[in-house]
Amino acid sequence: MSILELLRQHGEIARTSTLIQKGGTKRDIAATVAQGSVVRVMKGWVASRQADAEQLTAVRSGGRLGCISALARWGVWAADDRSPHIAMSQHGRRLSDVRMAGSTEAVMHPRAPVDTGTRPRLDRPCCFHWSQPAGTENDLDWIVRPFDAVKQAVYCQNLEHAVACVDSALHHGVLTAEEWATIATALPTTFDECVSLIDGRADSGLESRIRVRLQKLGHRVDVQVPVPGFGKLDLLVDDRVGLELDGDRFHSTADQRRRDLAKGLISLRFGIPIIRAGYVHAIDDWDLVYEALRRMLDLTALRVA
pLDDT for 264: 67
- At 117, the pLDDT band (50, 70, 90 cuts) reads confident
Q: Which of 216, 212, 140, 145 has its CA nearest to residue 183?
A: 145
In this structure, which amino acid lies at residue 121?
Answer: R
Does residue 283 register a pLDDT over 50?
yes
- At 98, the pLDDT band (50, 70, 90 cuts) reads very low
Question: What average pLDDT does this structure show over 10-32?
Answer: 96
Report domain extents, the chain.
1-51, 53-188, 205-304
Question: What average pLDDT does this structure show over 49-65?
Answer: 93
Does residue 128 register a pLDDT over 70?
yes
C-alpha span between 142 and 269 (Å, rounded): 52
C-alpha span between 142 and 18 (Å, rounded): 11
* pTM, to two decimals: 0.89
Sign of the four-CA dihedral 246, 248, 251, 254: positive
- At 249, the pLDDT band (50, 70, 90 cuts) reads low
Which range has the worst mean pLDDT, 87-101, 139-153, 157-171? 87-101
Does residue 35 register a pLDDT over 70?
yes
C-alpha span between 256 and 275 (Å, rounded): 17
Terminal Cα-to-Cα distance of the chain (whole angstroms): 71
Which range has the worst mean pLDDT, 56-65, 112-121, 275-284? 112-121
C-alpha span between 71 and 166 (Å, rounded): 10
Sheet holding 38-42, edge to edge: 13-15, 45-48, 38-42
What's the CATH superfamily of 205-304? VSR Endonuclease (3.40.960.10)
C-alpha span between 145 and 158 (Å, rounded): 21
- Report which secondary-structure segment, H or E, holds 302: helix 286-304
Portion of the chain with pLDDT greater than 70, in percent: 88
